[in-house]
Chains A and B, each alone.
Chain A
Amino acid sequence: MNPIISMNGIVKSFYIGTPNELEILHGLNIEVPEGQFVSIVGASGSGKSTLMNIIGALDRQTAGRYILDGIDMSKQDDSALSGIRNKKIGFVFQTFNLIARTSAMKNVELPMLYAGVRSKERTKRAKELLEMVEMSDRSSHMPNELSGGQKQRIAIARAMANDPAIILADEPTGALDSKTGRLVMDIFHKLHKEQGKTIVLITHNPELAEETDRIITLSDGNIVGDRVVSEEAAAE
């Protein structure tokens, strides 16, 4: 299968050109084939978040090559990056980050709004997505009327809105109790199995990582482990 994510010698430095220059990522090579459910683990300060920002097109690498779904990310300007985030990446955050005072339905529609999808189609697609995460009956609820687990399901539906190349989930169960966390993980598994979504899960929870196809372990800005877990993925 084609790699969805292809990273080659990714370096990320901060405060470039100042005495405080700081290299966070030291030349990472990662290749994620389409349809893989991969987890990136590491202690805090390991460079997880920085890597996630680069994968999610929120930030650019200092050096190296990153190709996402055939697009060379180093050649994109800011406005092109927002288009890429919009169409290729579905973010799921630890703190849900639903837009306040905006209904579940409208939240799910938001990425489609920025993609210029017509109102009718947006509504139709948002309904389907809410059904997928079993939240149809909450479509008109505001975020403050929803529990954590419900919010995260809405957020997953939102991440799926423009049918992105990858789902990028940053500690999606971090703010949930184990029962609702389980429910959220089940949705990721369902997306992976039924729709063949490529999912990148950032977590520090080894148990959750064990559920995925592959675990990439990060430490001090280097990859210190890259282990295939499931037989399914091993077979490829």
Chain B
Amino acid sequence: MNLGENIKLALASLKANKMRAVLTMLGIIIGISSVIMIATMGNIMENSVMDIFNSQGGSNLVGFQITMKRDAVRNYYMDTDLITEEMVESVNERFADDIDVVSMSGGSESASMRFHREDLDLMVYGVNPGYIRQSMTEVIAGRYISEKDLDKRGSVCVISDKQANKLYGSPREALGKTLSFNCMGTGYDLTVVGVYEYKLNGLMSAMVNMMGEDWNNEVYIPYTTLAKMEGINESSFFYFYININNGVNAEKFASSVRDYINNRWYRDNDSIEVWYQTGESQMSMMSEVMGIISTVISVIAGISLLVGGIGVMNIMLVSVTERTREIGVRKALGAPNGAIRSQFIIESVIICLIGGAIGIVLGILLGNIAGVIIGTMASPSAGSIVLAVTFSMAIGVFFGYYPANRAAKLDPIEALRYE
């Protein structure tokens, strides 16, 4: 009795009990489709995160920020602990060969403006020219904040495409216009020199769209200008980013910059020093988090597969009992135990494989529906499909074996007598 005959037999028996077969498969379908859906959505998330990561410089990105020393005597920051322009400039000169762009943000202030009879909220960010690399934005009209703006503490700003459309009709028309707003009780008039839009895809753009206007009310101005508005002479920073040139070892570069800054400016600080994080380590942290999330969800999916498998076993036991007489007849006609066993195992494997196949299709479908909603298509990796197929087959064999073995070991005389 070969495999083909067994498969035909199993299909015939499933056809005879369609409703039952479908209900039994349901457990497997739900389990497998959730596994595949999770794998698909995991890919979507990973792609989006990778997109952002790469747009910000990928593994060429190094971040520096102040942090508590191990033997800190305070647990708070003072103004004198912050990173100064002087430090960044000095780093920029000393490591000029390795550095592509430095990006800094001197913080932000909220502001408001009147437009027709509406009060609009703004968020004013003080940035340097390099900051555009970190902000996931792109200038679509005019220009970004320049070095000259920084030096002159220029009254210029870069606004979003949505603001430009709303306030001035279009990005082009916004250029050269004056943006008047109120910040910390004082009125300011800034000249619009550029318009940006978010260059995002996938998950992030979905999130931006969901948050609506809130993400588009950011106005970028020189950080020196922001400092002036805040009444500070010298800007200072909690952190800054450096995009290094290709081919520069990020880890080595970051540690020498850290040592340089710490030796020169933080040696005598009792509590604070500068600490770095490379894009690589940030990425591995993120993928670790995503790994944990997908592991947890996979365990849940695994439990549902286990429940599905128990369902298969249950139905196979019922099937064996129902067909006791048939098993007796088959044995009387000369079926060896092995043939009976493989007949039932194959039946259970086929239930699981059909369930698995439907589950895979359904999972891809659901995953992509989710993908359409958040704006990216993704397919699960071939590995996860192979895994799903293998796993559903394994469930079939594992949960089918016990009932099949019970069938195989039936005494033919007893079985023939079974009513």
Using Cβ atoms and an 8 Å threshold, which residues of chain A touch B413? 53, 58-59
Using Cβ atoms and an 8 Å threshold, which residues of chain B touch A83? 334, 336
Using Cβ atoms and an 8 Å threshold, which residues of chain B touch A100? 16, 326
Contacting pair A58 B412 (CB below 8 A): yes
Choose from B1, B329, B338, B416 the contact partner of A99 (Cβ within 8 Å).
B329
Choose from A53, A114, A158 the contact partner of B335 (Cβ within 8 Å).
A114
Choose from A58, A82, A99 the contact partner of B336 (Cβ within 8 Å).
A82
Using Cβ atoms and an 8 Å threshold, which residues of chain A touch B330? 99, 110, 114
Is B382 interfacial (CB 8 A cutoff)? no
> Measured between C-beta atoms, what is the minimum distance from B333 to chain A in Å?
5
Contacting pair B334 A115 (CB below 8 A): yes
Using Cβ atoms and an 8 Å threshold, which residues of chain B touch A82? 331, 334-337
A99 to B16, CA, bound (A): 13
Choose from A59, A86, A99 the contact partner of B334 (Cβ within 8 Å).
A86
Is A172 interfacial (CB 8 A cutoff)? no
Using Cβ atoms and an 8 Å threshold, which residues of chain A touch B326? 99-100
Contacting pair B332 A85 (CB below 8 A): yes
**Interface residues in B322-354 (C-beta closer than 8 Å to A):** 325-326, 328-339
A6 to B363, CA, bound (A): 65
* A89-101 near B? 1/0 per residue, CB < 8 Å: 0010100010111
A78 to B13, CA, bound (A): 27
Using CB atoms, name the residue of chain B closest to A116. B1
Is A87 interfacial (CB 8 A cutoff)? yes
**Interface residues in B371-419 (C-beta closer than 8 Å to A):** 412-413, 416
Using CB atoms, name the residue of chain B closest to A170. B416
**Interface residues in A42-95 (C-beta closer than 8 Å to B):** 53, 56, 58-59, 78-79, 82-87, 91, 93
Is B12 interfacial (CB 8 A cutoff)? yes
> Measured between C-beta atoms, what is the minimum distance from A118 to chain B in Å?
10
> Measured between C-beta atoms, what is the minimum distance from A45 to chain B in Å?
15
* B314-328 near A? 1/0 per residue, CB < 8 Å: 000000000001101
> Measured between C-beta atoms, what is the minimum distance from A145 to chain B in Å?
14
Is B5 interfacial (CB 8 A cutoff)? yes
Among A99, A115, A158, chain B packs the most CB atoms within 10 A around the CB of: A99
Contacting pair A111 B416 (CB below 8 A): no
Using Cβ atoms and an 8 Å threshold, which residues of chain A touch B416? 58, 93, 97
A58 to B12, CA, bound (A): 28
**Interface residues in B218-273 (C-beta closer than 8 Å to A):** none
> Measured between C-beta atoms, what is the minimum distance from A51 to chain B in Å?
12
Task: Knowing A97-B325, A100-B326, A101-B12, say if A79 contacts B332 (CB, 8 Å).
Answer: no
Contacting pair B332 A91 (CB below 8 A): yes
Contacting pair A102 B332 (CB below 8 A): no
Contacting pair B412 A113 (CB below 8 A): no
Using CB atoms, name the residue of chain A closest to B412. A58
Using Cβ atoms and an 8 Å threshold, which residues of chain A touch B16? 100-101
Using Cβ atoms and an 8 Å threshold, which residues of chain B touch A79? 336-338
**Interface residues in B79-106 (C-beta closer than 8 Å to A):** none
Using Cβ atoms and an 8 Å threshold, which residues of chain A touch B328? 97
> Measured between C-beta atoms, what is the minimum distance from A170 to chain B in Å?
9
Using CB atoms, name the residue of chain A closest to B419. A95
Contacting pair A85 B337 (CB below 8 A): no
Among B332, B337, B413, chain A packs the most CB atoms within 10 A around the CB of: B332
A158 to B338, CA, bound (A): 21
Contacting pair B337 A110 (CB below 8 A): no
Using Cβ atoms and an 8 Å threshold, which residues of chain B touch A162? 334
Using Cβ atoms and an 8 Å threshold, which residues of chain A touch B325? 97
Using CB atoms, name the residue of chain A closest to B335. A114
A84 to B333, CA, bound (A): 10
Using CB atoms, name the residue of chain B closest to A101. B16
Contacting pair A102 B12 (CB below 8 A): yes
> Measured between C-beta atoms, what is the minimum distance from B414 to chain A in Å?
10
A110 to B339, CA, bound (A): 12
Using CB atoms, name the residue of chain A closest to B415. A58
Contacting pair A113 B1 (CB below 8 A): yes
Using CB atoms, name the residue of chain A closest to B339. A114
A92 to B329, CA, bound (A): 10
A115 to B338, CA, bound (A): 13
Using Cβ atoms and an 8 Å threshold, which residues of chain B touch A56? 332
9 further interface pairs, Cβ-Cβ under 8 Å (given A83-B334, A99-B326): A79-B337, A79-B338, A82-B336, A86-B335, A97-B325, A101-B16, A111-B334, A113-B1, A114-B336
17 residue pairs A–B, Cβ–Cβ below 8 Å? A58-B413, A82-B335, A83-B334, A85-B334, A86-B334, A91-B332, A93-B416, A97-B328, A97-B329, A100-B16, A101-B16, A111-B333, A113-B5, A114-B330, A114-B334, A114-B335, A115-B334
Chain B residues close to A by CB (< 8 Å): 1, 5, 12-13, 16, 325-326, 328-339, 412-413, 416
